[in-house]
Structure 1
Amino acid sequence: MARVATATGGRPATTGVIPGRWALSVGNPGTPTAPGFEWVRLSDLARLESGHTPSRNKPEYWDGEIPWVGIRDATANHGRTIHSTKQAISELGLANSSARLLPAGTVCLSRTASVGYVVTMGVPMATSQDFVNWICGPELSPRLLHYILMCEQESVRRFAHGTTHQTVYYPEAKAFHVCIPGRPEQDAIAALLGALDEKIVVNERIATAADELRMIQMEAAAREDPALVPLSSLASFVNGRNFTKDASGSGRMVIRIAEVGSGPGASTVYNDVETSEQHLARPGDVLFSWSGTLKVARWCRPEALINQHIFKVVPNGGVPAWMMFDLIAGELPAFRAIAADKATTMGHIQRKHLDKSVAVPKRELWGSLDRSLGVLWNRALVADREALALADLRDTLLPKLISGELRVKDAERLVSGAV
């Protein structure tokens, strides 16, 4: 492993080679990963561009028509092609800063704060200085570069420096090498993985549309001569246990607040402890995090352990799960306001707040509503689970394809049945 020297101004300068796991390296390792692949300096195949933030003290520089990629866009959309951003700058902001308008297809890698997140521009955009951006030439598929960086996220983080704030400096970015085949196979790999991603997006849209349609119809039904009942009278709210303590590191995932909506990550805890049914989450269960980040979610992953600060919402007899989800979702703004008023480091609600009266359709309508709206709930669950299965398949194939361990023709047979 090469040592990293420090350049003028405290910025590290690369000396030697620091290999990644599969197809990315700082410096040229020399030996290709597979026949037909070769290591090439990335900056020889793609133009490296930086970003910039227009002055925040100039309101006229902001809220314009030019999408501007910030760290939040990257962390929320890792591995995706994006067509919109949380913030936009004006033509004036672009002209009076070092920001650049980059073309669609530009691959963006976050280099500071949250290091290693990858997005590709679906339309022309600018970025903050927190990114290194590559505009690929004809010898490199931008989609394949996107997948290489996405797969090598942990390697990119190893290339970063700093104690308080990790940063990938430009000397490292300029020294990046990628191990790639010829352009035809690059395109074939990207197309195969892209087919899985497109199917994932379709399923996500199905789930979102089904949920939105159900919630609209539920709200309309509740407005017509509603009954007012305490939320707590409709379900049991079972608090999780501290399964992170003495966790074994194997077995079932422990669902903390972070995993409620986003699923497992690098810090996810696993435990093989046995527990009662009331502390297990299975696909279709409703989970409600009542502390810190308040949110409600439909669990769609394999059986897992529910940690403290999360309620498993167990509907009472005759109460559909989707109804509890919709009612809690409708009350989230009020619950979050209560939590924000708590003078603690982590805001939360108390059980007494679950006694709040909520408007529900009359009970005699529940059966007919469940026959129509329950179908939408189940369709969304199926779409969610299919998207997860496709993502697992993509993530399994990704390192094998970009390293040459698995060739496209062999992978096509695995993908054909899935898409």
Structure 2
Amino acid sequence: MSMQTLEELCELIVDCKNRTPPAAPVGEGVAFSIGTPDIVDGRIRLQGAKRVTQETYDIWTARAVPRADDIILTREAPVGRVGRIEDGMILCLGQRTMLLRPDISRTDPRFLHYFLLSDDVQAMLHGHASGSTVPHLRVAQVRTLPVPLVPDLAVQRAIGQLLGALDEKIAVDAAVAATSRELSLAFFGQAVHSDQPVEVMVESVVTALTRGVAPKYTDSSDELPVLNQKCVRDGRVNLELSRLTLREKVNASKLLQRNDVLVNSTGVGTLGRVARWTLPLEATVDSHITIVRFDKQKVDPVCAGFAMLLAQPDIEAMGEGSTGQTELRRAQVGGLEITLPSSAAQKELRIRLDALEERAEQALAESRTLAALRNALIPQLMSGRLRVRDAERIVEDAV
């Protein structure tokens, strides 16, 4: 296995402008600006990404127009997230990112993408990062990154295709979950408009309305997961971005219960995001998140949760404070008015919502399993300890 630098394997490595592209007016824009929050688990996610105008796109792509199979690497906050541009994506680089264009005569783009995601390379990227306050990578450091490559380009392609098949299945599962949620929201909206709707103030129908804990962080794997604002996105919870806190320091009232609603309550860009907690495990949230626990004697918690999801734009607009210090007070969340179907309609709707959410959770659970398998296979395949043929049998059994 030969050693080369990343620069030798790429046609182009360019940094972004050191600022965020201005967003286009709502409903307009010709392309997406991709920053660190838009690269998750090795994929570029357009949902939630900001759009830019043609003028901004032309300015921000003057050095390089991103195209399919280019790789976006984040250079800070955090270091080392990697995403490959897929067909049909029209993008420009957001702040803290750089673009790598593989030389396809020497390396397979998918292979290089997964190589950069491997644990060894991630550790190397973090080791090269400099800066005491915010660790960051310089372009020169990325250019000289040592890359051990499988000599045979055909083997590279086989590895890339194999791992790509797992990612495609993960994408299908994500689409199933997204469609299930869209249907749930549509059914809820239909029930509200076809029935005699009931407007209630959140604080009048809850048993708990409280901020989370001030975590005592630990690395011990048997301690309690604690969610932060980054964990709440797209109406769901992403545990991969959580940390661990000492269980003994958490009051029982702050432990999450099924169908709790979580509301991000501080910070620019994250304030107002809403998610429902449905996972069968013990966890808590930090003090930047408000827990809303509905009283099942007064409203159906699932229906009330969907009312909160639909109210997210209103919640996002409720923040107070100066730039960078936006705050959503507990009283503001409690004073929010939500619209629900009648009590009888809630009972009927609950059955449909539970079925759709269960289907979504099954898809997301499978997605997490496949992602874990992919992550386990990457170092084995990259090092040559596992042959592609053997890995193919493992993947076939999994999918």
TM-score (norm: length of structure 2): 0.79
Change (3 A) 1:371 1:299: closer
Change (3 A) 1:333 1:265: same
Change (3 A) 1:312 1:278: farther
Aligned residue among 187, 192, 202 for 1:231: 202
Change (3 A) 1:138 1:281: farther
Superposition deviation, residue 68 in structure 1: 6.0
2:71–2:85 CA contact under 8 A, matched in 1:
yes
Worse-superposed segment, 224-233 or 261-270: 261-270
Find the aligned partners of 1:264 and 1:301 in 2 and give their Cα distance.
10
2:42–2:82 CA contact under 8 A, matched in 1:
yes
Superposition deviation, residue 319 in structure 1: 4.5
Worse-superposed segment, 347-356 or 366-375: 347-356
Find the aligned partners of 2:210 and 2:55 in 1 and give their Cα distance.
51
Matched, 1:340 2:309: no
Change (3 A) 1:271 1:186: farther
2:202–2:336 CA contact under 8 A, matched in 1:
yes
Change (3 A) 1:415 1:287: farther
**Equivalent residue number for residue 258 of structure 1:** 230
Aligned residue among 380, 385, 391 for 1:411: 391
Matched, 1:169 2:138: yes
Matched, 1:397 2:385: no
Find the aligned partners of 1:324 and 1:153 in 2 and give their Cα distance.
42
**Equivalent residue number for residue 288 of structure 1:** 262
Q: Determine helix, strand or coil for the equivalent of 1:311.
A: strand
Amino acid at match of 2:243: T
Amino acid at match of 1:127: L
Superposition deviation, residue 417 in structure 1: 2.8
**Equivalent residue number for residue 117 of structure 2:** 150
Across the aligned residues of Structure 1 and Structure 2, the Cα RMSD in angstroms comes to: 3.7
Find the aligned partners of 1:234 and 1:416 in 2 and give their Cα distance.
49
Q: Show structure 1 runs of 5+ residues with no match.
A: 1-36
Aligned residue among 367, 370, 377 for 2:357: 377
Deviation track 1:281-327 (CA, whole Å, cap 9, x = no partner) reads 47x54331352133322335561321344416355148544312211
Find the aligned partners of 1:344 and 1:179 in 2 and give their Cα distance.
43
Change (3 A) 1:156 1:276: same
Worse-superposed segment, 234-243 or 285-294: 234-243
2:209–2:293 CA contact under 8 A, matched in 1:
yes
Deviation track 1:84-108 (CA, whole Å, cap 9, x = no partner) reads 9634463796389742224321122
Q: Determine helix, strand or coil for the equivalent of 1:117.
A: strand
Amino acid at match of 1:294: G
Amino acid at match of 1:175: T
2:176–2:360 CA contact under 8 A, matched in 1:
yes
Matches within 5 A, 1:20-419: 37-51=1-15, 53=17, 65=30, 67=31, 69-72=33-36, 75-77=38-40, 79-81=42-44, 86-88=50-52, 90=54, 94=58, 98-112=62-76, 114-123=78-87, 125-127=91-93, 130-151=97-118, 152-181=121-150, 182-224=152-194, 225-237=196-208, 239=210, 242=213, 244-245=215-216, 247=218, 249-251=220-222, 252-261=224-233, 263-264=238-239, 268-273=243-248, 278-281=253-256, 285-289=259-263, 291-292=265-266, 293-299=271-277, 301=279, 303-307=281-285, 308=287, 309-311=289-291, 313-317=293-297, 319-340=299-320, 345-351=325-331, 353-419=333-399
Q: Determine helix, strand or coil for the equivalent of 1:303.
A: coil
TM-score (norm: length of structure 1): 0.76
Find the aligned partners of 2:387 and 2:357 in 1 and give their Cα distance.
39
Find the aligned partners of 1:257 and 1:56 in 2 and give their Cα distance.
21
Q: Determine helix, strand or coil for the equivalent of 1:162.
A: coil
1:110–1:118 CA contact under 8 A, matched in 2:
yes
Q: Determine helix, strand or coil for the equivalent of 1:348.
A: coil
Amino acid at match of 1:364: A
Change (3 A) 1:83 1:238: closer
1:99–1:127 CA contact under 8 A, matched in 2:
no
Asked which structure has the greater CA Rg, the reply is 1
Superposition deviation, residue 53 in structure 1: 4.4
Q: Determine helix, strand or coil for the equivalent of 2:275.
A: strand
**Equivalent residue number for residue 13 of structure 1:** none
Worse-superposed segment, 81-90 or 135-144: 81-90
Q: Determine helix, strand or coil for the equivalent of 1:409.
A: helix
Change (3 A) 1:350 1:183: same
Deviation track 1:312-349 (CA, whole Å, cap 9, x = no partner) reads 63551485443122111123333333333589945123
Q: Determine helix, strand or coil for the equivalent of 1:122.
A: coil
Equivalent pairs counted in the alignment come to: 378
Amino acid at match of 1:170: V
